[in-house]
Amino acid sequence: MIARVSLEIALRKEFDYVIPPGLVGQVDVGSRVQVPFGPRKVLGVVTAVAEESAHANLKPILKIIGAQTLVTPKVLKLARWMADYYCCAPEIALKSVLPEVVRQEESGWRERLFVRALPMPGDFPKLPKRQQEVWNIIEERREMPLQELVESAETTAATVRKLEDRGLIEISSQISERDPYAREEILPTQPIVLNASQATALKQIIRAMDVCSTRVPRVESGTVSKEDRGLKIEDGKGAAPAILHPPSSTFLLHGVTGSGKTEIYLQAIAHALEQGKGAIVLVPEISLTPQTVERFKARFSSGKLQTLVAVLHSHLSAGERHDEWHKIRQGRARIVIGARSAIFAPVEPLGLIIVDEEHEHTYKQEEAPRYHARDVAIVRGQMENAVVVLGSATPSLESFYNASKGKYTLLELPERVDDQKMPHVRVVDMRQAAVKEKGPPIFSRQLKDAISDRLERGEQTILFLNRRGYSTSLTCEKCGYVAECPNCSISLTYHRTGTKLLCHICGHLEQVPSVCPNEKCKNPAIRYSGTGTQKVEEVLAKLFPHARVKRMDADVMKRKDDYRRVLGDFRVGKIDILIGTQMIAKGLHFPNVTLVGIIYADLALHQPDFRAGERTFQLLTQVSGRAGRGDVEGEVFVQSFTPFHPAIQFARRHDFNGFYEQEMEFREQLKYPPVSRVALLTLKGRNEEKVKFSADHLKRELEKRLVTPKDSRYKDLIIAGPAPAPLLKAESFYRHQIMLRTTKMSALSRELSLMAQALALPEDVTLTIDIDPVNLG
């Protein structure tokens, strides 16, 4: 027997090895193996098993790693699709579907010494006092970790060993599972009676799950093209059918914050468990708070649907991640909740995938494989006949468009549960404030008054500014000097703590000059301009010296527990005003927060990105959603220099549909997603001339292969650029870009992969291909 193996060293090729007699029956598709490669031993994954090979003189597989196949055939197939669609080497795609710690050669289980009481054959001996005390604890627990015993009995291992010598106990090494949530106390919860719109939504999801259960999985069909049809966007000609047969198994759950989406997820998961299937719940890393996890654990911690809920995210220790992953692989945990890469969790059979906050950009991985977890979720759902639910208060245009075309089923929850009102949003025109106060203030009169009201009433306030640091730049008004990063084409940000200038791209640090560094100028009156969260904090302290203020951004939240601690303090009312960057924008429920202030709403609008309006709308809506989750109606102040911008006005009116209609006009006109799909090709190098030259060369190649041929399939292809990237220089590398737009991305990405491999580039220029990019920087 022969095994085909994909090696971890990226070679875009697979190699055949003989399965030695001792391993026959153990090596299967998905097994992790060690094989000889030249003089080295390398690791790889078996991608196929065959009777014979086209090659002679095959070497044998050396050994198998792990008792179980690590990559299930279904996940393997998903990795293949990913490599194809996102233009990356299959080895890289394969590598990303397993957590690093699971891929390692040694088993990652933690063994610990356990103490176990043994049955007593004869009379119980009389023990010295200390030993008797220790024995009392063991007798009650029967079995426990040695370390725990030593701690709770305040004794030493030597004393415990004496009991072992007497034949009373046995000390042995056992696997001890690490449970990252062991210290949380979780009270079981019961399903809540749904309101009418929740019930309608759940009914449709359940019906689709039942239909899926009776369908033959499409995973056997072999080709990928058919399966990713659901992802492709058609050119919009011809009306979408009113009723879909069979019903779509992807849902877009559009519900304002607090409308009860999570409760629907929980009840849909319960249905999956009843069907004997499991579920994956994706949430953005930042909303993966203990509160979120707890809600899922609490529902499935008891009763007949009891199961383990595994959690996968980057804050776990390697050991915890190892154990959580294996709980899933062994089928003990049937529910997985995690960030982006949890979409590859080996849940089998899989009944349901939930992508919460589906519009979040953190679902996109910014390094190879540059996959979008939401889109991978949809493909996986189709491959494994699982129902996919995308949830959001502010759906991405992509998903809403697919729903409007009938590709997804739209489910709407228009109201908050318990009739809580949406907050009242007031837009403050900062141009007028600037005139009155001779220069733009940080706080408008209106916002100041509102804060002071809340302080008097003992209610809480959240202030939002998506920019950390003190000032955005250091400028000389006399000669026009701006302190810039030597490695990146952006200005340095002034940080008050440590009085330093910091680059937010590469981390470059500089001391603040006391006079203008321009030799000919040396102006001592060099100034800081622009506002960051640090400055908001400082000004606020002057305005309200008695208020208890806390700031939350990447500069102060350094340790794993900081975030939790501050939120805990805020929850119990130890903080009056919380200032923060997007860290505080989502998922937090604080009933006593009745005011939200958005210091500078235009910030996201000025990004050189066709999604700038969409991002602003989403951000304003999400941040506003933090206000008024209790009995008192919330109030939001949006400070803006462009108060009539549609993104701001539609957010003010909580009008998603209005925003969608208006934004789609612009996307249609310029053929931007969701009307098309984008491939962003970036050339990078230290020598700008060479980068430019390579970009021109690439453009000619693209035209030659994709545009000139008479039979070209890419009739709708738009090639824009090459042009310098919005951030021309980052970490000493110059970047030039070409943007391609087409509706036929599956085909195009395959073609781009081939081209990239054949393209002759100078040695120090690299090309990256980003399919469906979310960051155009």
Task: List residues near ligand ADP by CB under 6 A.
Answer: 192-195, 198, 255, 257-263, 417
Q: Are 555 and 495 in contact (CB under 8 A)?
A: yes
Q: How far is the CB of 491 from Zn ion (least distance, A)?
A: 10
Q: Looking at beta carbons only, is 196 or 243 nearer to ligand ADP?
A: 196
Q: Pick between residue 24 and residue 193 the one whose CB is nearest to ligand ADP.
A: 193
Please give the Cα distance from 140 to 660 (Å, whole number). Answer: 64
Nearest CA to 748 out of 228, 202, 186 is that of 228
Write down the least CB distance from residue 262 to ligand ADP, Å.
Answer: 3
> What minimum distance in Å lies between the beta carbon of 344 and ligand ADP?
25
Dist. CA 691–CA 765, nearest whole Å? 6
Binding mask 108-147 for Zn ion (x = CB under 5 A): ----------------------------------------
Q: How far is the CB of 686 from Zn ion (least distance, A)?
A: 14
**Residue 195 contact partner, candidates Zn ion, ligand ADP, none, CB within 5 to 8 A by sort of partner:** ligand ADP
**Residue 492, interface with Zn ion (CB under 5 A)?**
no
CB 493 within 8 A of CB 485: no
110 binds, among Zn ion, ligand ADP, none (CB under 5 to 8 A by kind): none
- Exactly one of 46, 70, 270, 488 binds Zn ion (CB under 5 A); which one? 488
What is the distance between the alpha carbons of residues 450 and 461, in angstroms, rounded to a whole number?
A: 9
**Of the residues 34, 159, 365, 487, which one makes contact with Zn ion according to CB under 5 A:** 487
Which is closer to ligand ADP, CB of 127 or CB of 298? 298
Contacts of 284 (CB under 8 A, 6+ apart): 339, 356, 357, 360, 362, 363, 586
Residue 506 partner contact from Zn ion, ligand ADP, none using kind-dependent CB cut-offs of 5 to 8 Å: Zn ion
46-105 binders of Zn ion (CB under 5 A): none
Interaction mask 332-351, Zn ion, x per CB under 5 A = --------------------
CB of 303 to ligand ADP, least distance (A): 17
Q: Which is nearer to Zn ion, 14 or 688 (CB)?
A: 688
DSSP at 194: P
Cis preceding linkage at 39, omega within 30: no
By a kind-dependent CB cut-off of 5 to 8 A, residue 198 interacts, out of ligand ADP, Zn ion, none, with ligand ADP
Q: Are 633 and 442 in contact (CB under 8 A)?
A: no
- Tokens 């019930």 correspond to 199
Closest Cα partner for 446 from 438, 464, 454, 529?
454
Question: Is 508 among the residues that bind Zn ion (CB under 5 A)?
Answer: yes
Please list, in sequence order, all residues whose beta carbon lies within 8 angstroms of the beta carbon of residue 141, skipping any fewer than 6 positions away. none
Q: Which residues contact 667 (CB under 8 A, 6 or more apart)?
A: 397, 610, 673, 674, 675
C-beta of 412 vs 538, nearer to ligand ADP = 412
As measured in angstroms, the least distance from the Cβ of 509 to ligand ADP is 40
| CB closer to Zn ion, 505 vs 759 | 505
CA distance 131 to 126: 10
Q: Which does 485 bind (CB under 5 to 8 A by kind): ligand ADP, Zn ion, none?
A: Zn ion
Q: Which residue in 171, 211, 505, 539 binds Zn ion (CB under 5 A)?
A: 505
Q: Give whichever of 44 and 255 is closer to ligand ADP, judged by the CB atom.
A: 255
C-beta of 396: minimal distance to ligand ADP in Å? 17
Please tell me whether residue 485 binds Zn ion under the rule CB under 5 A: yes
* C-beta of 104 vs 487, nearer to Zn ion: 487
**255 vs 423 by CB, closer to ligand ADP:** 255
CB 498 within 8 A of CB 504: no
487 binds, among ligand ADP, Zn ion, none (CB under 5 to 8 A by kind): Zn ion
Half-sphere exposure of 541 (CA within 13 A, CB side): 9
| Region near Zn ion per CB under 5 A, out of 260-268, 488-496, 514-522, 617-625 | 488-496
Please report how close the Cβ of residue 740 comes to ligand ADP at its closest, in angstroms: 37
**For 199, which DSSP code?**
H
**421-444 burial string, b = 16+ CB within 10 Å, else e?**
ebbebebbbbeebeeeeeeebbbb
Residue found under tokens 């640091």: 469
Look at residue 87 and give its three-state secondary structure. Answer: coil
Q: Closer to Zn ion at the Cβ: 125 or 486? A: 486
Strands 577-580 and 460-464: parallel
Q: Closest CB to Zn ion among 315 and 500?
A: 500
With CB under 5 to 8 Å by kind, the binding choice for 607 among ligand ADP, Zn ion, none is none
Under rule CB under 5 A, how many of the chain's residues touch Zn ion? 7
Give strand ranges (E) for 205-349: 250-255, 278-282, 308-312, 333-338
How many angstroms separate the CA atoms of 666 and 612, rounded? Answer: 12
CA distances from 454 to 450, 459, 577, 597, 634 (A): 6, 5, 10, 12, 11
Q: Which of residues 207-236 bind Zn ion (CB under 5 A)?
A: none
- Residue 194, binding choice from Zn ion, ligand ADP, none, Cβ under 5 to 8 Å by partner class: ligand ADP
Nearest approach in angstroms of CB 510 to Zn ion is: 10
Secondary structure of residue 716 in the 3-state scheme: coil
Nearer to ligand ADP, 224 or 298 (CB): 298
Element (H, E) at 534: helix 533-543
User: Does 502 interact with Zn ion (rule: CB under 5 A)?
Assistant: no
- In the complex with ligand ADP, which residue's Cβ is closer, 297 or 327? 297
Tell whether residue 483 is a contact of Zn ion (CB under 5 A): no
488 interface partner picked from ligand ADP, Zn ion, none, CB below 5 to 8 A per type: Zn ion
Q: What one-character DSSP code corresponds to residue 291?
A: H
Helix, strand and coil in the chain, % to nearest 5? 35, 25, 40
Phi, psi values for residue 435, rounded to 5°: -65, -45
Return the one option of Zn ion, ligand ADP, none that residue 120 interacts with (CB less than 5 to 8 A, by type): none
- Cβ atoms within 10 Å of 355's Cβ, excluding its own: 30
Q: Minimum distance from CB of 765 to Zn ion (Å)?
A: 20
Quick one: tokens of 429?
């025109």
**276 or 414: CB nearest ligand ADP:** 414
Q: Closest distance between Zn ion and the C-beta of residue 732, in Å?
A: 8
Tokens found for residue 674: 């969701």
Of 405 and 508, which CB lies nearer to Zn ion in the complex structure?
508
Cα-to-chain-centroid distance, residue 607: 21
Token pair listed for 701: 């190649």
The region of 188-196, 260-268, 298-306, 479-487 touching Zn ion under the rule CB under 5 A is 479-487
503 is a site residue for Zn ion (CB under 5 A)? yes
Main-chain dihedrals φ then ψ at residue 128, nearest 5 degrees: -60, 155
506 binds Zn ion (CB under 5 A): yes
The DSSP annotation for 338-364 comes to ESGGGGG---SSEEEEEEETTT-GGGB
Q: How far is the CB of 259 from ligand ADP (least distance, A)?
A: 4
Given the rule CB under 5 A, which residues bind Zn ion?
485, 487-488, 503, 505-506, 508
